[in-house]
C-alpha cells in the first residue's frame, strides 16, 4: 500500500523497550564514583538494580516517540461512542493545578478555597439536575453507580423491605448489571423495542413489589432519548421502587432537561464525559451522584456544608447517622472537580445548553451524511451519538472489525464497535460538540470512501488492515488474559 485516501500514513518507527536500549554504564550525567563503604549505609550493601544506561537525547527520543504512538483528542477526531472523548480546554488544566499543593488533612480553616470550589460545583450540579443534593466523592461512573445503588439499598433497609430485583434494559452499559449484582441484587433484563428504546409493555409486566429499582440510561446507549421515561418513573414509584438513571450521557441533555423533572431518584454524572477532563487509558474519572429528597440522607461521607463561619466538612456518623459511609478517601478527584467547575463557569448556563445542542447536531450531521452509505441501526434522528449496524457490509466479506481496522490506516481512531450488544456488528460514533464541520466532513468522506471500497470488492484494503500502524492485528484477548507485566532480560547463550 503506497497511498491512502486521506494522505495520512501510519507511523512506523520501531521503538524497543527502554531496557532493550541499555548501554551499560552510559548516563546523561557524570556521577562521582559510588562509594563502596557500607558503614554509613547502616550496613546495607549497594547492588545493581538494573537501570538501563542511556544518554539524555536517547531518553528524550524514546519517550517522545512513544508519546507519538498515542492517538489522542489533541491529534484527531476521536469518535468512540459511549465514551464521549471531548476536548478539554487548556484553561481547565491550569485551574486544576491551583490546588496541587493542598493536603486534604489540613485544617479546614486553611482549605476554605478548595471547599468553596467543591461547594460551588455541588450547587451547579444540583441546579442543572434539579435534585436535592450531590455526592461528589465517587471516582468514576461505575463507582457512582455503586454509590447510588448502595443508597437505594440503605433506603430499603430503612423501610425494612426485602426487594431482591433490579431491572436493567438490555442495551445498558455492562457496569449497570455488574453494579446491581455487586450490591447483592438479582438482575432482570428488559428487552428493547424495535425502535431501540425500552419495550414499555415488557417493562411494566416486570414491575412488582419484589423490584428494588430500575437502572435506565437516558439518552440510552443507542444514542436515543427514552420517550417513555415519565411513564417508567411513575410505574416504578407506584410500585414503591427507586429510579436510578445512568447519566453518562448527560452531555446530550445538560441545560435542556433536568433529571429531577423526569422522576429520577438518583443519577451519576461522568464529569469526564460531560464537563471536560481528558480520560481513557485508565484514568482519572469522577462520577458524582445526584440524589432526590428520598435518598439524600443516605449520601456518603464526607461532604461540604456552608456555615456562618465559612465552609465545613461533615465527616462522621454522629453528624449524618443515615449516611451509607465512606466510599472513597477524602473528597474525590479534586483536579476533576475543579476542571468541571471551570468548564461550567466558562460556558455559563447558556453555553452548557449549547454544548448539548451542538453535540446532538454534530451526531445528526454524521448520521445524515452517512445514512445512505452505511446502515443506520434505527429510523429517525439521534441524540449525541450515531449508531449503525453492519447490514451495509452484507455480501462484502468485510466485518465491522475489518472496517474499523481500515480506519486506522486512514489516520482515525475507530469508533466503538460491537456495542451496544442489541445491534448486530454495531458501529457507534460520537463526535462531541467541539468538532468543526470541516473535521466532521473529513471523517464522513473517509467512511463513505471505505464503505464504497468494501462494496466494490476491495477486500484486501480491510482484511490486511491496518497496514500503516506500528502494530498490525494483536491478539487482544491473549494480551488481556496473559499480560506480560515484567521485562525479563534474555540471557544469551
Ligand atoms: C462510561 C459509561 C459508564 C461507566 O463510567 P466509567 O466512568 O467508565 O466508570 C456507565 N454507563 C454508561 C452509559 C457509560 O457510557
**What is the pLDDT averaged over residues 143-149?**
98
pLDDT at 336: 94
DSSP line for 150-204: HHHHHHHHHTT----EEEEETTS-THHHHHHHHTTPEEEEEPBPTTSSB-HHHHH
Angstrom distance (rounded) from CA 62 to CA 32: 26
CATH value of 355-480 in 3.40.50.620, 3.90.1150.10, 1.10.240.10, 3.10.20.30: 3.90.1150.10
Angstrom distance (rounded) from CA 368 to CA 447: 13
Q: Does the beta carbon of 221 lie inside 6 Å of ligand 1?
A: yes
Q: Is the pLDDT of residue 428 over 80?
A: yes
Which of 137, 173, 332 has most ligand 1 atoms within 8 Å of its beta carbon, as the pocket-test mutant? 173
pLDDT at 49: 82
Mind listing the pLDDT tens digit for each residue in 354-390?
999 999 999 999 999 999 999 999 999 999 999 999 9
**Rounded distance from Cα 352 to ligand 1 centre (Å):** 21
Which of 82, 171, 284, 422 has most ligand 1 atoms within 8 Å of its beta carbon, as the pocket-test mutant? 82
Please list the residues that pair with 134 across neighbouring strands.
Answer: 290
- Count the neighbouring beta carbons within 10 Å of the beta carbon of residue 28: 12
Best CA proximity match to 319, nearest among 308, 331, 333, 304: 304
pLDDT at 8: 67
**Rounded distance from Cα 222 to ligand 1 centre (Å):** 14
- For residue 286, the ligand 1 atom closest to its alpha carbon is 7
The rounded Cα 472 to chain-centroid distance in angstroms is 26
CA distances (Å), origin 390, targets 282, 361, 363, 419, 480: 29, 24, 18, 12, 26
**Rounded distance from Cα 349 to ligand 1 centre (Å):** 24
Asked if residues 291 and 135 have their Cβ atoms less than 8 Å apart, the reply is yes
Mind listing the pLDDT tens digit for each residue in 164-198?
999 999 999 999 999 999 999 999 999 999 999 99
Nearest CA to ligand 1 atom 7: 141
Q: Is the pLDDT of residue 68 over 60?
A: yes
pLDDT at 283: 62
Angstrom distance (rounded) from CA 430 to CA 424: 18
Q: Is the pLDDT of residue 35 over 80?
A: no
**What is the pLDDT averaged over residues 112-132?**
97
Best CA proximity match to 183, nearest among 169, 166, 158, 206: 166
Mind listing the pLDDT tens digit for each residue in 385-409?
999 999 999 999 999 999 999 999 9
pLDDT at 351: 97
Angstrom distance (rounded) from CA 289 to CA 141: 9
| Band of residue 211 on the pLDDT scale cut at 50, 70, 90 | very high
Asked if residues 426 and 375 have their Cβ atoms less than 8 Å apart, the reply is no
pLDDT at 12: 63
**Rounded distance from Cα 285 to ligand 1 centre (Å):** 10
Q: What sign results for the dihedral spanned by CA atoms 232, 247, 175, 84? A: positive
Q: Is the pLDDT of residue 492 over 80?
A: no
**What is the pLDDT averaged over residues 8-28?**
81
pLDDT at 72: 87
The CA angle 468-472-475, to the nearest 5 degrees, is 165
- Given its phi and psi angles, is residue 87 left (phi above 0), alpha (psi -120 to 50 degrees) or beta? beta
Percent of the chain whose predicted confidence (pLDDT) is above 70: 97
Angstrom distance (rounded) from CA 258 to CA 201: 25
| Band of residue 48 on the pLDDT scale cut at 50, 70, 90 | confident
pLDDT at 9: 66
Instruction: Name which of 91-100, 178-187, 222-231, 262-271 the model is least confident about.
Output: 91-100
State residue 257 phi and psi, 5-degree precision: -135, 140
pLDDT at 493: 67
Nearest CA to ligand 1 atom 2: 248
CA distances (Å), origin 420, targets 82, 225, 258, 452, 492: 9, 15, 25, 25, 49
The CA angle 35-36-40, to the nearest 5 degrees, is 75
**Rounded distance from Cα 267 to ligand 1 centre (Å):** 12
Mean pLDDT for the chain overall = 93
Give the cell for residue 13: 518507527
User: Domain extents for the chain?
Assistant: 90-344, 355-480
| Band of residue 25 on the pLDDT scale cut at 50, 70, 90 | confident
Which of 248, 271, 432 has most ligand 1 atoms within 8 Å of its beta carbon, as the pocket-test mutant? 248
| Band of residue 50 on the pLDDT scale cut at 50, 70, 90 | confident
Q: Which helix (H) or strand (E) holds 214?
A: strand 211-217
Quick check: pTM over 0.85? yes
Mind listing the pLDDT tens digit for each residue in 219-247?
999 999 999 999 999 999 999 999 999 99
pLDDT at 1: 61
Angstrom distance (rounded) from CA 94 to CA 121: 17
Q: Is the pLDDT of residue 66 over 70?
A: yes
pLDDT at 281: 65
- For residue 285, the ligand 1 atom closest to its alpha carbon is 7
State residue 303 phi and psi, 5-degree precision: -140, 160
Percent of the chain whose predicted confidence (pLDDT) is above 90: 81
CATH of domain 90-344: 3.40.640.10
Give the cell for residue 394: 452484507
Q: Does the beta carbon of 140 lie inside 6 Å of ligand 1?
A: yes
Nearest CA to ligand 1 atom 3: 141
pLDDT at 4: 73
| Band of residue 469 on the pLDDT scale cut at 50, 70, 90 | confident
Q: Does the beta carbon of 285 lie inside 6 Å of ligand 1?
A: yes
Q: Is the pLDDT of residue 490 over 80?
A: no
Angstrom distance (rounded) from CA 340 to CA 96: 9
List of residues 6+ apart from 492 with CB closer than 8 A: none
Give the cell for residue 236: 416504578
Angstrom distance (rounded) from CA 396 to CA 356: 37
| Band of residue 144 on the pLDDT scale cut at 50, 70, 90 | very high
Q: Do the first three CATH levels of 90-344 and 355-480 match, i.e. the same topology?
A: no
Give the cell for residue 19: 531496557
DSSP symbol at 35:
P
Amino acid at each position: 500500500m503506497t497511498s491512502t485516501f486521506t494522505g495520512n500514513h501510519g507511523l512506523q518507527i520501531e521503538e524497543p523497550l527502554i531496557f532493550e536500549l541499555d548501554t551499560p554504564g552510559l548516563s546523561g550525567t557524570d556521577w562521582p564514583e559510588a562509594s563502596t563503604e557500607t558503614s554509613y549505609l547502616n550496613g546495607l550493601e549497594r547492588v545493581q538494580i538494573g537501570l538501563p544506561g542511556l544518554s539524555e537525547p536517547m531518553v528524550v527520543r524514546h519517550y517522545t516517540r512513544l508519546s507519538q504512538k498515542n492517538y489522542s483528542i489533541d491529534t484527531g477526531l476521536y469518535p468512540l461512542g459511549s465514551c464521549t472523548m471531548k476536548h478539554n480546554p487548556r484553561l481547565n488544566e491550569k485551574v486544576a493545578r491551583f490546588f496541587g499543593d493542598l493536603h486534604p488533612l489540613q485544617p479546614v480553616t486553611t482549605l476554605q478555597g478548595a471547599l468553596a470550589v467543591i461547594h460551588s460545583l455541588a450547587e451547579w450540579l444540583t441546579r442543572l439536575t434539579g435534585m436535592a443534593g450531590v455526592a461528589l466523592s465517587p471516582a468514576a461512573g461505575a463507582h457512582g453507580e455503586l454509590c447510588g445503588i448502595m443508597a437505594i439499598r440503605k433506603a430499603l433497609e430503612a423501610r425494612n423491605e426485602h426487594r431482591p430485583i433490579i431491572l436493567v434494559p438490555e442495551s445498558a452499559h455492562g457496569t449497570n448489571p455488574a453494579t446491581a449484582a455487586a450490591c447483592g441484587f438479582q438482575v432482570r433484563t428488559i428487552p428493547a423495542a424495535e425502535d431501540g428504546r425500552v419495550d414499555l409493555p415488557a417493562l411494566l409486566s416486570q414491575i412488582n413489589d419484589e423490584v428494588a429499582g430500575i437502572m435506565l440510561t437516558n439518552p440510552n446507549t443507542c444514542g436515543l432519548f427514552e420517550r417513555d421515561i415519565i411513564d417508567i418513573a411513575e410505574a416504578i414509584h407506584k410500585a414503591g421502587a427507586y429510579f436510578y438513571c445512568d447519566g453518562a450521557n448527560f452531555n446530550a441533555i445538560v441545560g435542556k432537561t433536568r433529571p429531577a423533572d423526569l422522576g429520577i431518584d438518583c443519577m451519576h454524572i461522568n464529569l469526564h464525559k460531560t464537563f471536560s477532563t481528558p480520560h481513557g487509558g485508565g484514568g482519572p474519572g469522577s462520577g458524582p451522584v445526584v440524589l432526590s429528597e428520598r435518598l439524600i440522607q443516605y449520601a456518603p461521607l464526607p461532604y461540604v456544608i456552608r456555615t456562618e463561619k465559612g465552609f465545613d466538612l461533615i465527616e462522621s456518623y454522629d453528624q449524618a447517622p443515615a449516611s451509607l459511609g465512606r466510599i472513597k478517601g477524602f473528597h474525590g478527584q479534586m483536579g476533576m472537580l475543579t476542571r468541571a467547575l471551570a468548564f461550567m463557569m466558562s460556558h455559563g448556563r447558556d453555553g452548557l445548553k449549547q454544548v448539548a445542542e451542538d453535540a446532538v447536531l454534530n451526531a445528526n450531521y454524521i448520521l445524515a451524511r452517512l445514512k445512505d452509505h452505511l446502515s443506520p441501526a434505527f429510523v429517525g434522528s439521534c441524540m449525541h451519538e450515531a449508531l449503525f449496524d453492519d447490514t451495509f457490509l452484507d455480501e462484502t466479506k468485510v466485518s465491522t472489525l475489518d472496517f474499523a481496522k481500515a480506519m486506522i490506516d486512514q489516520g482515525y481512531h475507530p469508533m466503538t464497535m460491537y456495542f451496544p450488544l442489541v445491534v448486530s456488528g454495531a458501529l457507534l460514533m460520537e463526535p462531541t460538540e467541539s468538532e468543526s464541520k470541516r473535521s466532521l466532513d473529513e471523517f464522513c468522506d473517509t467512511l463513505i470512501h471505505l464503505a464504497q471500497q468494501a462494496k466494490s470488492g476491495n477486500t484486501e484494503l480491510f482484511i490486511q488492515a491496518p497496514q500503516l500502524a506500528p502494530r498490525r492485528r494483536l491478539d487482544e484477548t491473549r494480551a488481556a488474559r496473559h499480560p506480560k507485566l515484567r521485562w525479563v532480560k534474555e540471557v544469551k547463550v
